[in-house]
């Protein structure tokens, strides 16, 4: 395949994924059904994983699917079940006056989009930006070994903390 | 592909997440919006990593994913405790600190 047709394919894939992700994200913050919100979150997270693969980050893409879609979504569904959030249409999912939230969202979008366009207007990603799992693991287990150990202790502390907070007396 | 494609998409997702955090009353939905924000940040990290041809962006995205998983665990545990004591996960019901 020539470089040109590869670029066209990458762009088509990108815009399809981007449209699906924005749609799912908008439905995630507007739907009144809590379980549907969790399913739309699956759509967004899957789209992010696809973007990672598109950028050639294979290990992060696979990790995204395993950790987020495999574990975090299940945790959310258990949270919905255990807090017996009423499933179906209900009035109590949103604040009554959302004008401030809309304005804040638009302001954040305006500032960040203007900044990235002004700062990286003509920056181009190479056609081949693949990185292998071996390179990632080499980096983690040499240069970033101390943050890696710190994060594993943090995960253990969060696990114990969650059990202590949530158990019955 | 332009770097801006990814950065603008990430900015849009981030703003939708900010709207969700501010507009939602249900604690579980607020946590889901926070996940949206963290994922937008991860797209940025990996995009910049690809742009400067280094693997460091991916390493930091992995750290963010780990911390986000810990955050969801603790956050849902707190919501569970809140539900047990208050019979509700409505953010409006948690106003003990309000003067």
For position A56, which CATH number holds? Answer: 1.20.120.1200
Using an 8 Å CB-CB cutoff, list chain A residues near B53. 126, 129
* Predicted confidence (pLDDT) at residue A9 exceeds the cutoff of 80: yes
The pLDDT score that the predictor gives to residue B90 is: 82
More confident residue, B79 or A128: B79
Q: Average pLDDT for residues B25-48, to the nearest whole number? A: 93
Angle (CA) A74 A77 A80, round 5°: 155
* Predicted confidence (pLDDT) at residue A91 exceeds the cutoff of 70: no
Domain map (residue ranges) of chain B: 3-97
Q: What is the rounded distance in angstroms from the CA atom of residue A115 to the CA atom of residue B25?
A: 31
Using an 8 Å CB-CB cutoff, list chain B residues near A123. 2-4, 51
Q: What is the rounded distance in angstroms from the CA atom of residue A115 to the CA atom of residue A36?
A: 34
Counting residues of chain B whose pLDDT is more than 70, the rounded percentage is 99
Q: For chain B, what is the mean pLDDT?
A: 90
Indicate if the alpha-carbon torsion angle A129, A134, A136, A139 is positive or negative.
negative
Q: What is the rounded distance in angstroms from the CA atom of residue B7 to the CA atom of residue B28?
A: 27
- State the residue for tokens 């996940």: B35
Residue numbers of the domain that contains A38? 4-166
Whether B23 sits inside 8 A of A144 (CB atoms) is: no
**pLDDT tens, residue by residue, B57-95:** 999 999 999 999 999 999 999 999 888 888 888 888 788
A146 burial type by CB count under 10 A (0-12 exposed, 13-18 middle, 19+ buried): exposed
Residue B45: CB partners within 8 Å, gap ≥ 6? B57, B58, B60, B61, B64
For residues A84 and A90, the answer to whether their CB atoms sit within 8 Å is no
Fold of B3-97: Helix Hairpins (1.10.287)
Mutate to test the interface with A, among B3, B10, B19, B78 (most CBs of A within 10 A): B19
Whether B76 sits inside 8 A of A79 (CB atoms) is: yes
* Predicted confidence (pLDDT) at residue A1 exceeds the cutoff of 70: no
* Predicted confidence (pLDDT) at residue A89 exceeds the cutoff of 60: no
Which residue is closest to A56 within chain B, CA to CA? B50
Q: What is the dihedral of CA A125, A130, A135, A136, to 10 degrees?
A: 70
Whether A26 sits inside 8 A of B16 (CB atoms) is: yes
Diameter of chain B measured on Cα atoms:
52
């Amino acid at each position: 395949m020539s470089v040109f047709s590869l670029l066209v394919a990458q762009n088509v894939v990108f815009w399809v994924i981007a449209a699906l992700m924005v749609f799912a994200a908008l439905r995630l913050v507007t739907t009144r059904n809590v379980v549907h919100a969790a399913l739309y979150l699956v759509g967004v997270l899957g789209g992010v994983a696809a973007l990672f693969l598109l950028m050639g980050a294979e290990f992060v893409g696979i990790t995204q699917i395993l950790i987020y879609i495999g574990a975090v979504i299940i945790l959310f569904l258990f949270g919905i079940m255990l807090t017996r959030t009423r499933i179906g249409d209900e009035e109590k999912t949103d604040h009554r006056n959302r004008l401030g939230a809309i304005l804040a969202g638009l302001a954040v979008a305006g500032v960040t989009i203007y900044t990235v366009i002004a700062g990286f207007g003509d920056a181009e990603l190479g056609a081949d930006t693949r990185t292998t799992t071996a390179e990632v693991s080499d980096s983690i287990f040499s240069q970033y070994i101390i943050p890696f150990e710190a994060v594993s202790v943090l995960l253990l502390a969060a696990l114990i903390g969650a059990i202590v907070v949530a158990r019955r007396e | 592909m332009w770097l801006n494609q990814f950065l603008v998409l990430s900015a849009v997702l981030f703003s939708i997440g900010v709207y969700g955090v501010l507009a939602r009353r249900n604690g579980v939905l607020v946590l889901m919006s926070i996940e949206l924000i963290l994922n937008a940040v991860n797209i940025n990290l990996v995009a910049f990593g690809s742009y400067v041809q280094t693997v460091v962006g991916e390493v930091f995205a992995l750290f963010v994913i780990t911390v986000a998983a810990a955050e969801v665990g603790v956050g849902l545990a707190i919501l569970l405790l809140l539900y047990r004591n208050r019979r509700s996960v409505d953010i409006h019901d948690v106003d003990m600190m309000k003067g």
